[in-house]
Amino acid sequence: MIILSQKLNLKLFSTDVEQVSTRKGFGEGLIKAAEADKRIVGLCADLTESTQMEPFKKKFLERFIEIGVAEQNLVTVASGMAAMGKIPFVGSYAIFSPGRNWEQIRTTICYNNQPVKIIGSHVGVSVGPDGGSHQALEDIALMRVLPRMVVISPCDAIEARKATIAAAKKDSPTYIRLTRNPTSIITTEETPFEIGKAQIVFKSEVRGTKSDPLRRSFSEARTNSKSKNPNSQFDVGIIATGALLYRALKVAKKLETEGKNVIVMNLATIKPLDEHAIIKIAHETRALVTVEEHQIRGGMGSAVAECLAAHFPVPIEFIGVKDQFGQSGQPDELLEYYGLSEEDIYAAVQRVVLRK
Amino acid sequence: MPLTDEKIKVLEAKARDIRRSIVESLIEAKSGHTAGPLGMTDIFTYIYFHALRHDPKKQDWSYRDRLVLSNGHICPVLYATMAHAGYFPVSELKTLRKFGSKLQGHPHREFLPALENSSGPLGSGLSQTVGMALADRMDNGRTSGKQFYCLMSDGELNEGNTWEGAMLAGKERLQNITAIIDRNNIQIDGFTEDIMPLNPLLDKWRAWNWHVQEIDGHNFREIDESLGQAQAVFDKPSVIIANTIASRGIPAFERKFEWHGKPPTTPNEIETARLALKNARTLGGHVESPHHN
Q: How many CB atoms lie within 10 A of CB B144?
A: 15
Mutate to test the interface with A, among B67, B128, B152 (most CBs of A within 10 A): B128
Q: Is A71 a catalytic residue?
A: yes
Categorize the per-residue pLDDT at A209 as very low, low, confident or very high, splitting at 50, 70 and 90: very low
Nearest to B127 among A76, A84, A113 (CB): A76
Gap from B189 CA to chain A (nearest CA, Å): 22
Interface of A with B in 53-72 (CB under 8 A): 62-63, 65, 67-68, 70, 72
B129 touches chain A (CB under 8 A): yes
Q: Which amino acid is residue B57, in one-letter code?
A: K
Low-confidence ranges of chain B (pLDDT < 50): 283-285, 289-293
Contacts of A94 (CB under 8 A, 6+ apart): A120, A121, A122, A123, A136, A139, A177, A178
Q: Which residues of A70-101 are buried (b: 16+ CB within 10 A; e: fewer)?
A: bbbbbbbbbbbbbbbebbbbbbbbbbbbbbbb
Quick: pLDDT tens for A2-21. 888 899 999 999 999 999 99
Report the alpha-carbon distance of residue A152 to residue A174 in Å, rounded: 8
Q: Do B131 and A103 touch (CB under 8 A)?
A: no
Total residue length of chain B: 293
Q: Do B132 and A84 touch (CB under 8 A)?
A: yes
B119 touches chain A (CB under 8 A): yes
Q: Long-range pairs for A303-311 at CB < 8 Å and ≥24 separation?
A: A303/A144, A303/A270, A303/A271, A303/A273, A304/A239, A304/A267, A304/A273, A304/A278, A307/A273, A307/A275, A307/A278, A307/A279, A308/A278, A308/A279, A308/A282, A311/A275, A311/A279
**Main-chain phi, psi angles of B69, to 5 degrees:** -95, 115
Quick: pLDDT tens for B193-218. 999 999 999 999 999 999 999 999 99
Interface of A with B in 15-54 (CB under 8 A): 41
B160 touches chain A (CB under 8 A): yes
Nearest to A107 among B124, B135, B167 (CB): B124
Best CA proximity match to B129, nearest among A92, A173, A83, A86: A83
- Residue A226: per-residue pLDDT: 46
Q: Do B139 and A63 touch (CB under 8 A)?
A: no
- Residue A217: per-residue pLDDT: 58
Q: Do A81 and B164 touch (CB under 8 A)?
A: no
Q: Do B131 and A81 touch (CB under 8 A)?
A: yes
Report the alpha-carbon distance of residue A134 to residue B38 in Å, rounded: 47
Q: Do B131 and A63 touch (CB under 8 A)?
A: no
A77 touches chain B (CB under 8 A): yes
Report the alpha-carbon distance of residue B70 to residue A308 in Å, rounded: 42
Examine domains A20-184 and A196-354 and report if their fold is the same: yes
Residue B271, judged by CB atoms within 10 A of its CB (0-12, 13-18, 19+), counts as: exposed
Q: How many CB atoms lie within 10 A of CB B140?
A: 13
- Residue A211: per-residue pLDDT: 45
B69 touches chain A (CB under 8 A): no
- Residue B283: per-residue pLDDT: 44
Nearest to B110 among A41, A83, A113 (CB): A113
> Domain A20-184: which CATH class?
alpha beta
Quick: pLDDT tens for A53-98. 999 999 999 999 999 999 999 999 999 999 999 999 999 999 999 9
- Residue A222: per-residue pLDDT: 52
pTM: 0.94
For residues A130 and A122, is the Cβ–Cβ distance under 8 A?
Answer: yes
Gap from B123 CA to chain A (nearest CA, Å): 9
Q: Do B119 and A103 touch (CB under 8 A)?
A: no
A79 touches chain B (CB under 8 A): yes
Query: Number of CB pairs < 8 Å for A and B?
Result: 97
Beta strand A262-266 with B177-183 is unpaired
Report the alpha-carbon distance of residue A27 to residue A50 in Å, rounded: 10
Q: Do B139 and A84 touch (CB under 8 A)?
A: yes
Quick: pLDDT tens for A125-135. 999 999 999 99
Gap from A54 CA to chain B (nearest CA, Å): 19
Q: Name the CATH superfamily housing domain B5-292.
A: Thiamin diphosphate (ThDP)-binding fold, Pyr/PP domains (3.40.50.970)
Mutate to test the interface with B, among A84, A86, A105 (most CBs of B within 10 A): A84
Catalytic residue among A71, A138, A159, A317: A71
Nearest to B118 among A77, A104, A111 (CB): A111
Quick: pLDDT tens for A140-178. 999 999 999 999 999 999 999 999 999 999 999 999 999
Quick: pLDDT tens for A211-268. 444 455 565 555 555 445 555 679 999 999 999 999 999 999 999 999 999 999 999 9
Q: Which residues of B touch A109 (CB under 8 A)?
A: none
- Residue A230: per-residue pLDDT: 54
Q: Which residues of A touch B124 (CB under 8 A)?
A: 72, 76, 79, 104, 107-108
Q: Do B133 and A80 touch (CB under 8 A)?
A: yes
ipTM value, please give it. 0.94
Nearest to A80 among B108, B121, B135 (CB): B135
B142 touches chain A (CB under 8 A): no
Please say whether the structural domain A196-354 has been given the CATH code 3.40.50.970.
Answer: no
- Residue B143: per-residue pLDDT: 85
Residue boundaries of the structural domains of chain A: 20-184, 196-354
Quick: pLDDT tens for B110-148. 999 999 999 999 999 999 999 999 999 999 998 888 999
A108 touches chain B (CB under 8 A): yes
A76 touches chain B (CB under 8 A): yes
Pinpoint the alpha helices (H) of chain B.
Answer: 5-29, 35-39, 41-46, 75-85, 125-140, 160-172, 192-195, 201-207, 220-232, 267-279
Contacts of A301 (CB under 8 A, 6+ apart): A239, A290, A292, A316, A318, A319, A320
